[in-house]
Structure 1
Amino acid sequence: MTFFLSLATTLSWADIYKYVDESGNVTFTNTPIKGAVRIMSEPAAPRRSDSGNSSANSTRTPTNKVSVPSPVNFPKVDAATQKSRDSNRKQILSEELASEQILLGNAKKALQEADANRSADEKANPKMYLDRIGRLRETIVMHEKNVAALQAELSRVR
């Protein structure tokens, strides 16, 4: 009896329910709620017992994370579609990188020209000038970080 109860509980964890409240807020949950509609029901994957050989039961990635295979009915994307998506992603990232590099160049130029463009108020109040220089440096750092992040992301694109 407890076997069937635990089996039923395990199967209910795989069910997904959609609930819309009076305000129109949508909630997705794996527990049944009164008025919720089951939108996905998937049997839980059978559990394997550890036989002492953990490499037979899971795939380990270089970062030692366990890689779990996709469910049987998980939507698949054909190679041509994935290649197209990867190409679009690479193009978008390249365009963003070019834009960030331009913004970084503009920020560096603005910092170089800051001394020549010192206003009368900034000459009278050096703190105003230092504040402006600080903001320009923060902008440069932000754009440098964005460029580095985009370059790292581009290096991961297939």
Structure 2
Amino acid sequence: MRQKNAKRRHFVAPWTSDDKKPAEEDYLPLAKWIPTIEDDSDEDTDDVGYYDGDGNTETILNGRSEKWNFEGTYDPDDKAQALIAGMKRVQTDDGRKLWHKIIETDGETVEGVAKAMEIKAGSGDATDYEEFSGHLDYIRAPEVTPSASK
């Protein structure tokens, strides 16, 4: 069955430690005035051929980095946007860390520490509403919890 992207929910929470997950009530929905959140993950691969093969190359996955781009209209009163916007001028890695949780359309939960990068909170044409954009990059593979219905 096809699902609308709006059924996938994104949340952010303040970071205090890579090992201590936030309480459920600390997660803030990243949704208000956000029409676009897209998966922009990257895979690092190599094409190699081995002598025990048939002479053709195969693609080897060396690693994958999961990144989610977001774009919308800036609302400084929205707590999720304020959390991210507050990191805009921070120039240290730890200062850009937050927790990012995704509840997929099938109920699967993806959760881990990410960094907020390329943050724009308040820019654009004079006649437009202020831009809010950036991306959330998981710093390691996030934890995936299957849906209770699976």
Q: TM-score range by the shorter chain?
A: under 0.3
Larger radius of gyration: 1
Structure number with higher relative contact order (C-alpha < 8 Å, ≥ 6 residues apart): 2
Q: Name whichever structure is richer in helix by fraction.
A: 1
